[in-house]
Chain A
Amino acid sequence: MRALVWHGTEDIRCDTVPDPKIEDERDAIIKVTICAICGSDLHLYDHVMPGMEKGDVMGHEFMGEVVETGKGVNGALRKGERIVVPFTIICGECDQCKRGYFSVCKRSNRNKHIADKVFGHTTAGLFGYTHLTGGYQGGQAEYVRVPFADKTHIKVPEHLSDEQVLFLGDIFPTGWQAAVQADIQPTDTVAIWGAGPVGQMTLRSALLLGAKQVVCIDSVPERLEMARAGGAITVDNAQESVVERLNELTDGKGPEKCIDAVGMEAHSPRALEHAYDRLKQAVMLESDRAAVLREMIYVCRPAGIISIPGVYGGLVDKMPMGALMNKGLTIRTGQTHVNRWTDDLVKRIDDGQIDPSFVITHRVRLDQGPEMYKTFRDKKDNCIKVVLRP
């Protein structure tokens, strides 16, 4: 089969690889109908996230048709059924899964011993996202093996198109969880850093959940345009001071809720701060750039909430712990507990409350994937979200 394969830093190729096979009785094989490049895939493309190996198949946002199931799937899935696959692999049986904390499933990461060492305790296995999270082959391929398939799936109504439901596997519930865990109240100003795909979903979720005003911060004109379309006030951090503008919008009090939809590769608008972070990253004194975290902690209203859906992988430097502690801020973060939200979100799509396909700007064949990684990473050709068809 054809698949997008990681070969090294900025080196992803469309290769022919062996077809996946049933390895465990709870497995299913999916024929991928549509998949997407996620912003977090770019951390692998740039190789700032460690743990990839040559030959790994990329991709964790995909859907398709069930073509084969193991005996242990026990009728939970039928051949020919159309499903979206959540990016977090879940056993559905461990105490974390039972509590609804699917992204920290204790059994799905087959490289648990590595995660235990790095993070202290393991987190869930993820598709196509380093050997730290199981080293599972990803979904930017013609076929995928889905482990624990009897639980790791989202069923979707037939009358909804693939593009309407594809993002239930990652960015839509990620944006939703980011907004939900910020505990949005009707009097709140919610500031969201990053108007990429997750930022777009987050700001719409915040609006649907009833925030008084939603402010989106970025420097890319077309992303800001799309954010305004979703009802956000936009701040172009290339043109104006984020802190001054947010204080101006909140009568000097700062936003009650701040959401980081950028993550570990943040670009500070301040050249010196950015150069400092790049230098420390280059000499391995930090792995993740914390420019957005610093700004959020500084500008957030005391007793406010900081929600972090953006992906971080290791260590950051110059975290303003003094401001964080003295202002009494609450941080809520984590990979998304996808299946906890999807039943509700499917209904919202079905009811016409939101159509997540608005974010798709590029539709290409799978073999065009490698060039689209570069286009997406460099924000060229007005690219916001790429969908691939195998």
Chain B
Amino acid sequence: MSDAMSQPDRAHAPVPYSLPSHLTSDPRRRPDPATRELAHGLGWFSIGLGLTEVAFGSAIARWLGMPRAAPVIQAYGVRELIQGAGILGSRDPTPWISARVAGDALDIATVLPGLEGHNPRKDNVLIALVALVGVTAIDVICAQNLSGAPLNPSQKIRQDYRRRSGFRRPSKAMRGAARDFKPPPDIIGPEAMRPWTLTNA
């Protein structure tokens, strides 16, 4: 019997809340779908940015008025590629998104000196900084949502919940058990909107 009513002592049985956490959860987090999609998007963004930085590191450095930073930007490109692969390839992207936040800080620290001295491309540096701050904010939100997400249920919990049908008999056998109930006409769909076959039955 797969129901709650066949277990008379269930009310006094241990409940998940009283069990140690290693029995109630597995260590993987399960973020909400929007956060998962955001992390996925950031993974592809990392790949795209990484490829751009590796291929056009010198051009980016010149655009920023910091030509000597070209090898650093290319190295950051490699970092982005690794992070992107990590986010897209791992079952739990949380550490990789956190790594992106650290990388963002590094990027800002690298670009910031471009505002000092006689750099003729300070405007470009400002544009880059605004973009970096925006991306950092998104990374931080994503990292926070991921690290605050609940853990997956353990097999023990899954088995427990799988037994909670609430029915005395298997759920298939309960289909239509309340067909004796006569829905009040004022509560069901308006007569005019009911299928023709029903109203004429």
Contacts and interface: CB of A to CB of B under 8 A. Distances in A.
Contacts of B144: none
Contacts of B157: 222, 382
Contacts of B36: 238
Contact of A229 (B37, B161, B176, B193): B161
A238 B33 CA distance: 5
B106 to A, nearest CB: 25
B158 interface: yes
Contacts of A305: 189, 193
B117 interface: no
Which of A230, A332, A344, A378 has most chain B Cβ within 10 Å?
Answer: A230
Interface string A361-390: 111100000000000001111111000000
Contact of A378 (B2, B150, B194): B150
A210 B173 CA distance: 11
Contacts of B131: none
B165 A221 contact: no
Contact of A364 (B2, B17, B179): B17
A161 B11 contact: yes
Contact of A359 (B166, B168, B175, B193): B166
A354 interface: yes
A361 B189 contact: no
A328 B193 CA distance: 9
Which of A185, A208, A268, A382 has most chain B Cβ within 10 Å?
Answer: A382
Contacts of B41: 271
A326 interface: no
Nearest to A273: B34
Interface in B168-201: 168, 171-172, 174-179, 181, 183-184, 186-190, 193-195, 198
A229 B33 CA distance: 23
A333 B157 CA distance: 34
Contacts of B172: 231
A354 B3 CA distance: 9
A221 B171 contact: no
A238 B38 CA distance: 12
Nearest to A238: B33
Contacts of B162: 225-226, 228-229
14 contacts: A180-B188, A181-B187, A210-B179, A231-B165, A238-B30, A238-B32, A328-B193, A352-B168, A354-B174, A355-B3, A355-B5, A356-B166, A362-B15, A382-B16
Interface of A: 99-100, 161, 163, 177, 180-183, 185-186, 200, 204-205, 207-211, 219-222, 225-226, 228-231, 237-238, 267-271, 273-275, 303, 305, 328, 330, 332, 340, 344, 348, 352-364, 378-384
Interface of B: 2-5, 10-11, 15-17, 21, 24-25, 30, 32-38, 41, 148, 150-153, 157-158, 161-168, 171-172, 174-179, 181, 183-184, 186-190, 193-195, 198
Given A181-B187, A231-B167, 5 more contacts: A181-B189, A222-B161, A230-B166, A355-B5, A358-B4
